[in-house]
């Protein structure tokens, strides 16, 4: 089985496994106690904190361990907002942040605060100037991921941090995806990360709060982890997390070169091997092992099942693979195709043979899904004042786009096709299809049921 979903969770690093097993014998006691077993546990905890702080580039007393990366984000945002509550209750986030950041933003809005979402371009990057434009007198905090979890695009953190620093606003960086590859550059104020993203055990996150940053921990007071992360520390897991972070950092430079070559190979060859594919994310500013592409006329969940049968584990941001039937907020914010989306995130140590085998089976997997969907003739088609109307109400991705593609040739160049759809994904996928196929997307308007999307045939 080829595991190509390291961006979700990287396989446990051998060093992490060794450290975990070894520390079970020494790190089980309460590190707050003064007897021998407690002192041994404290030594392990302190050493892990120093190792993690060195990797991050901060002081050990600025770093705490949490029960997850999500908990680190929630704790960091809540504490920073509370610490600067006299300034105001305005939060800035990018439109492609991890759900843990966006959920924190929703909570702030529900409590009467305000949130500004900074848009991204088609490659998934923010413009640092847009963060400057979003800053207000009542801005308490800004958040920006170091690299995107779905498409791998690396954000200009240093430039955004400089904009925020000049305004006196702290910047929290979600470094979950990138910390294993290197420290986050720039004058950021808070940083969160998660051990299972770099090959450490799950259930360990870290939060850094720079000295001088106003911070007020929320919830019941606990004496552990500087009063910012309640509960007994999982010392064996923390030790394993720190040991694996140091280990992957030692391997990062060489492994990054190798993974970039493999992902460049996938980015270049997939569009040649499979027709009607859009490779998304920034072509250069991206994580070494992540490549994402979307296939027209493909059900994302069906494609993942086809690849799973071929022994490949990948993930997807397609609406077809979610219970909400809405496309990924990341793909939606980028304005790229969402249907048939595949994210390949290669783990360290992946072989060239596995990548070549993936490229060999992908065309057949896509073709099989397209064949199962058939070449559907649009149903309930009617002409309405020289406009071809396609009724796709009640049909989920990718059927509305397939039906559009099947009838576009039935109208003269310059004429219109109107697609009726109540699938949220159509709002993203029909414009993306027009751009890929050199057709003109005229726009959308409310219909009696759902939305009407109008396309003009140009070729």
Query: What SS3 state is found at 192?
Result: strand
C-beta pairs of 39-45 under 8 Å, 24+ apart in sequence: 41/235, 44/235, 44/238, 44/239, 45/233, 45/235, 45/238, 45/239
Q: Answer whether 94's CB lies under 8 Å from 117's CB.
A: yes
For residue 286, give Cα distances in angstroms to 95, 217, 267, 333, 362: 17, 34, 12, 17, 23
Residue with token string 């490779």: 279
Residue 434 among the catalytic residues? no
Q: Sort strands 387-391 and 382-383 into parallel, antiparallel or unpaired.
A: antiparallel
Query: What SS3 state is found at 405?
Result: helix
Burial bucket for residue 301 (CB in 10 Å: 0-12, 13-18, 19+): middle
* Active-site option among 295, 320, 397, 434: 320
Handedness of CA 336, 342, 348, 352 (dihedral sign): negative
CA geometry: angle 289, 357, 436, nearest 5 deg: 65
Q: Answer whether 304's CB lies under 8 Å from 298's CB.
A: no
Whole-number Å distance between alpha carbons of 42 and 37: 9
452: tokens are: 């009407």
Q: Which residues contact 54 (CB under 8 A, 6 or more apart)?
A: 246
Q: Answer whether 392's CB lies under 8 Å from 339's CB.
A: no
Whole-number Å distance between alpha carbons of 321 and 244: 32
91: tokens are: 């939060």
Q: How does DSSP assign 91-114, residue by residue?
A: EEEETT--HHHHHHHHHHHHTT-E
Active site residues: 320
């Amino acid at each position: 089985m080829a595991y190509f979903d390291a961006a979700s969770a990287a396989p446990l690093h051998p060093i992490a496994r060794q450290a975990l097993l070894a520390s079970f014998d020494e790190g089980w006691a309460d590190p707050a106690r003064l007897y021998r077993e407690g002192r041994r546990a404290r030594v392990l905890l302190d050493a892990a904190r120093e190792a993690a702080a060195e990797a991050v580039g901060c002081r050990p007393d600025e770093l705490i361990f949490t029960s997850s990366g999500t908990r680190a984000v929630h704790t960091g945002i809540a504490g920073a907002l509370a610490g600067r509550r006299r300034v105001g209750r305005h939060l800035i986030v990018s439109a492609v942040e991890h759900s843990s950041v966006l959920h924190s933003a929703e909570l702030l809005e529900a409590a009467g605060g305000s949130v500004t979402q900074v848009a991204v371009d088609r490659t998934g990057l923010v413009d640092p100037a847009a963060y400057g434009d979003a800053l207000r007198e009542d801005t308490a905090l800004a958040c920006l991921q170091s690299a995107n979890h779905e498409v791998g695009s690396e954000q200009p953190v240093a430039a955004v941090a400089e904009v925020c620093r000049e305004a006196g606003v702290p910047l929290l960086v979600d470094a979950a995806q990138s910390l294993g590859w290197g420290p986050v550059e720039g004058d950021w104020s808070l940083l969160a990360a998660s051990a299972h993203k770099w090959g450490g055990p799950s259930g360990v996150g870290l939060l850094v709060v720079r000295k001088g940053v106003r911070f007020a921990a929320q919830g019941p007071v606990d004496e552990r982890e500087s009063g910012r992360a309640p509960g007994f520390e999982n010392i064996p897991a923390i030790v394993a997390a720190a040991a694996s972070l140091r280990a992957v950092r030692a391997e990062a430079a060489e492994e990054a070169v190798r993974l970039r070559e493999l992902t460049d190979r996938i980015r270049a060859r997939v569009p040649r091997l499979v027709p009607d594919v859009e490779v998304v994310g920034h072509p250069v500013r991206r994580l070494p092992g992540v490549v994402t592409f979307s296939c027209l006329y493909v059900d994302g969940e069906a494609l993942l099942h086809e690849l799973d049968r071929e022994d490949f584990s990948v993930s997807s941001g397609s609406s077809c693979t979610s219970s909400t039937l809405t496309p990924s907020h990341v793909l939606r914010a980028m304005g790229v195709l969402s249907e048939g989306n595949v994210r390949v995130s290669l783990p360290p140590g992946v072989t060239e043979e596995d990548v070549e085998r993936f490229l060999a089976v992908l065309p057949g997997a896509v073709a099989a899904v397209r064949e199962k969907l058939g070449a559907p003739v649009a149903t309930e088609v009617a002409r309405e004042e020289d406009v071809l109307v396609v009724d796709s109400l009640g049909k989920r991705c990718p059927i509305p786009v397939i039906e559009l593609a099947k009838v576009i040739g039935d109208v003269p160049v310059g004429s219109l096709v109107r697609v009726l759809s109540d699938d949220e994904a159509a709002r993203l996928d029909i414009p993306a299809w027009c751009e890929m196929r050199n057709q003109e997307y005229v726009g959308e308007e409310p219909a009696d049921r759902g939305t009407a999307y109008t396309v003009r045939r140009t070729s």
